[in-house]
Amino acid sequence: MAWRAARSLLVLHQQLQAGAPRARPPATSTDEWGLIGDAAHDPTSDHTPHNFPGWGNDIVTAADFPNRPDLGLDAHKVLDDIRRSRDPRVKYGISNGQMFSSYGVRGYDGWTWRPYNPKNGDKHFTHGHLSVVGDARADGTQPWQTIGAGSAADSTEDDDMGASFGPITIEREGVTSLTIPPVNGGVADPRPAWLNFCNDTSQTYGLRVWYSTGNESFAPLPGTNGGLLALRSGQRFSQMLPDGTACLSIARKAIDPDGNVVEPTADLKPFAGHLTCAIERGAVRR
């Protein structure tokens, strides 16, 4: 099975190894810097790859790292720094028999430490654990607010200007064609990018969304149903664009009585409400 880690977790590992170089492998084992879980892990664990509608498939949203204060890496201090920063990418953290989450749990407010008593007895004294949210925010590559932030930023980000653009109106008739700098492939501006929609109406939008890398063909956008998207009332859709994407083709479609996206007919018309999209772009990576 092909899997990948949320990109913010790769930044975390890189950042901690830059901030505590004595704690890098081989001084610590690669297992202590774990991402994916082994067969003994609970299948519901964030170390297990999961599918996230609107974001991507087979993504791991948890990272471990060593607790080695003697080597300059204090896992509890790292997680407490992140806790106090209230980074929107955070789901929860565990260290030294304690955990916090970005949401309230059983009488504990969000962002506060509480006792951690797992069934398997591992209270995470030897390592720290960070889980991130299950959406495109977790692919954000901005530095974490803890040790090594300057080193990680220096090595991964050249420019943070002009990172996003929009809103862009989706035409009510015909096709909205968007030409964008090639995703992770622009000569002067290589960045990852995400396409975002949000429906603030009481109706459901039907959309057909294709992408092209400029290779004389179009393909359905990942995260959609074969290129079709039913954007429900109050729903936010965010999808990372495939590398090389240089053009997006978006057209409105109709919604049938069963909620399916279908071609318009005389009786089934596309919802004509005002709809926009935005392109969210990450930092330049050289």
- 50-87: per-residue pLDDT in tens? 999 888 899 999 999 999 999 999 999 999 999 999 99
- Percent of the chain past pLDDT 90, that is, above it, reads 70
| Residue 281 to residue 117: CA distance in whole angstroms | 40
| Same domain, yes or no: 61 and 114 | yes
The last residue of a domain, from among 156, 180, 206 = 156
Domain count, the chain: 2
| Same domain, yes or no: 102 and 47 | yes
| Same domain, yes or no: 115 and 213 | no
Q: What is the pLDDT of residue 60?
A: 94
| Same domain, yes or no: 97 and 203 | no
111 occurs within a structural domain:
yes
Rank 120-124, 179-183, 238-242 by mean pLDDT and report only the highest. 238-242
Of the listed ranges 40-49, 167-176, 246-255, the one predicted with least confidence: 40-49
Torsions phi, psi of 268, nearest 5? -115, 110
Q: What is the pLDDT of residue 41?
A: 60
Higher pLDDT, 83 or 280: 83
286 occurs within a structural domain:
no
| Same domain, yes or no: 30 and 138 | yes
Residues 156-170: what's their mean pLDDT? 62
- On whether the pTM is more than 0.85, the answer is no
The last residue of a domain, from among 99, 122, 156 = 156
183 occurs within a structural domain:
yes
Q: What is the pLDDT of residue 284?
A: 59
| Torsion sign across C-alpha atoms 231, 237, 242, 248 | positive
CA distances from 157 to 90, 111, 151, 240 (A): 21, 28, 10, 19
**Paired tokens of 233:** 């009332």
32 occurs within a structural domain:
yes
Which structural domain range is residue 33 located in?
Answer: 4-156
Tens of pLDDT, residue by residue over 139-152, are 888 999 999 987 55
